[in-house]
Structures are given as C-alpha cells and as structure tokens.
Homo-oligomer: A and B are copies of this chain.
Amino acid sequence: MAKKRNKTSGKVPVVTPCSRCPLRKIEIFRKFTAEELAFVSSFKSGELVLDAGSTIFSEGTNSPHLYTLLSGWAFKCKTLEDGRRQLLNFALPGDFIGLQASIFDTIGHSIEALTDVVLCVFPREKLWALYEKHAGLAFDVTWLGAREESILGDYLITVNQRRAGERIAFVLLHLFQRARQLGLVRGNTLALPLTQEHLADTIGFSLVHTNKTLKQLRKTGAFKWTGSTFELVDEKKLAAMVGHVAPVGGIRPFI
C-alpha cells in the first residue's frame, strides 16, 4: 500500500484549481457560469489525499468539511453490532461526500476509500452562503441528494426482490455504466477495484454464495472479471439478466 502512494504523492503539493478541474471536461457534467465557477473556487479550501482502505467518514460522526471525489473510488456503508455490514452505494469521481453530515449534523453511514483517492475539501460553514447566493448551485446539491435516493431505491428493489444472479448482474452493470459515463472504460474494460466481499456486502449474500453465483454468471460469457480487471463482453446479455436498470441520466452537476 505504501508503494501505491508513490503514484499520487508527486501530485500532492499542487492543488488542482477548479478552473482546470479535469471533471469539467466530461460531457455529462453541466457547465458552470463564470460566477458559479468563481464561487466554487473560493469555496474549495484544499485537497485531501488518502490511501485505499482509509475511512473518509465514520458512521455517527460529524466533520467541518464537505468533500467531492476528484479521483478514485469510495463506498458508503453501514455496520451492525455483530460486524455484518451493508454497502449502500459507491462514490465515483464527481460525487458528493458528506452531505448528510452537513444537513443533520451527523452522518448515517461510513465512507471508505476503495482505491487511493483525492478529495476536494469544502468548509461546511460556507454551505449556507452557497444557498443564499447561488440558487443554481443549491439546486445542484438537492439534485445530488435526490440522485442518491434514486440509486438507493434501485438497490433496494434489486437486492430485496431479485435472485442472486440478478443482483450481481445489476451491481456490475450499474457500476460499469457509471464508470463509462466518466470515461473510466477503455474498450470494454474497466479497472474495478472491488473484492468479492465488497460485492457480497452490497447484495446482501454471504461471500461463499456470492462466489458460487459469480461462477455461474461467468459461464454465460457476458463478462470477464479477474483480479481488478472487468471486461463487459456482452452488455445486452448482462442487461437481460437484470430486467432493467434505469440509469439516472442527463446532464449532472458536480458540486
């Protein structure tokens, strides 16, 4: 893990200015007005670089900061007394992290880095100024919250009503599509930084059963997944297993 750090540590001292944010080039993100860009630039107070496996937020705590994910993957999860845990959703570049903490003064889930990550840091106390001065950005924040709700609803029905194979197909397709929107897919191949245990905790099955179901799914030839390399061979076939995935499409804000 220490070795991995080297990959990013060279960039650490230089904070990416919002005007040159690499995410702004991605077409699914909406364009800012000059005023909005100026505000967001002043809103951003720094960057946080963390290793894979780090905890970004702990369930039940609070923080003076809000984050957006600039690069890397993370996931939100809740843990039960006896150690069972549930992954709630994944965070990919452009996603907002810690909204609940700002709004309720305590966050209902932990957030953990799945890969090395870079986070943009915003002081929570200025969120109010955003609402007062930039209705468009305020609307964006609501949009991002509503999107989380929408994704959780999709997870809830998938994970509660579908069989093992369908659940796995849903999660894989969902993540692939989100990653593709962000330009993280080359050809049909994606660096998918999940273990089977993460997947098991997402769909609510034991690791063993997840593994056995995955074995069945691989036989269909719809995808290949070895190590951290995921290749979607036949998207339609995978989609057919799911029933339907209603992606939250359209142009989206990213702060």
Q: In the complex, which residue of chain B has the Cβ closest to the Cβ of A252?
A: B104
Q: Known contacts A149-B149, A161-B80; is A156 also within 8 Å of B246 by CB?
A: no
Number of copies: 2
Asked if B204 and A161 sit within 8 Å, CB to CB, the answer is yes
Q: Is A160 among interface residues, defined by CB-CB distance under 8 A?
A: yes
Main SS of chain A's interface residues? Answer: helix
Q: Which residue of B lies closest to A59 (CB)?
A: B246
A86-B161, A142-B103, A246-B108 as given contacts; A156 in contact with B150, CB under 8 Å: no
- Is A216 among interface residues, defined by CB-CB distance under 8 A? no
Contact among B78, B103, B145 with A157 in the assembled complex (CB-CB below 8 Å): B78
Contact B146 A135, beta carbon cutoff 8 Å: no
Task: Say yes or no: B153 contacts A109, CB within 8 Å.
Answer: yes
The verdict on A15 contacting chain B, using a C-beta distance below 8 Å, is no
Residues of A in contact with B (beta carbons under 8 Å apart): 60, 76, 78, 80-81, 84-86, 88, 99-100, 103-105, 108-109, 128, 131-132, 135-136, 138-139, 141-143, 145-150, 152-157, 159-162, 203-204, 243-244, 246, 248, 250
